[in-house]
Chains A and B, each alone.
Chain A
Amino acid sequence: RKEVEQDPGPFNVPEGATVAFNCTYSNSASQSFFWYRQDCRKEPKLLMSVYSSGNEDGRFTAQLNRASQYISLLIRDSKLSDSATYLCVVKGTGGFKTIFGAGTRLFVKA
């Protein structure tokens, strides 16, 4: 079993749609959680951190469920520019063991 698992997609949605991604992690001792975004043939960039209380940044909402060991990302009112791969990232204690999920590909179409 992979330490961080994501639905690979692809998700094909029309502009304006709401789309949700889920991610599960296996290590209950994991400490920090993130969503990164990676455009085609580009480097990953931080989208948002995921705190226990959840957090929202404009059209993006991230939530963490420690009991069930999953993380979610909700994108509302999808834009063409949201087309990318979304990487779920989990970090363990000590700060170095950073595990990246394989990513979920999103295509937003006009």
Chain B
Amino acid sequence: NAGVTQTPKFRVLKTGQSMTLLCAQDMNHEYMYWYRQDPGMGLRLIHYSVGEGTTAKGEVPDGYNVSRLKKQNFLLGLESAAPSQTSVYFCASSTPGGWETQYFGPGTRLLVL
């Protein structure tokens, strides 16, 4: 099993450009999450999904959109990138429940100039 994979691994964008980050998991997990990690701030939840076709806002959703058309995939879109969106983006997945482990992908490093 590959677990959770993310593409691309690294990307440089200019302000105003758009892009989509792809997350895929092969563990048949219901829940999927997108986080961003910035120095000194820990991981912050952007959006999450509790199942195919459903999405919800997390702590810092502004400037991002998501879609979960297939259970195994969770896409994060930036419609008009801003320098404040320079960050490391992690996708994670888990089974339902309060004590479930979240399995993370390797991350995407995004630099917005």
Instruction: Tell me, yes or no, whether A32 is within 8 Å of chain B by CB.
Output: yes
Min C-beta distance of A85 to chain B, whole Å: 10
Q: Is the CB of B105 within 8 A of A4?
A: no
Name B58's closest neighbour in chain A (CB-CB): A96
Instruction: Tell me, yes or no, whether B90 is within 8 Å of chain A by CB.
Output: yes
Instruction: Give the size category of B's interface with A.
Output: 20 to 34
Instruction: Tell me, yes or no, whether B80 is within 8 Å of chain A by CB.
Output: no
Name A32's closest neighbour in chain B (CB-CB): B98
Name B38's closest neighbour in chain A (CB-CB): A102
Interface residues of B (CB under 8 A from A): 31, 33, 35, 40-45, 48, 50, 56, 58, 90, 96-102, 104-107
Interface residues of A (CB under 8 A from B): 4, 8, 31-32, 42-46, 49, 87, 91, 95-103
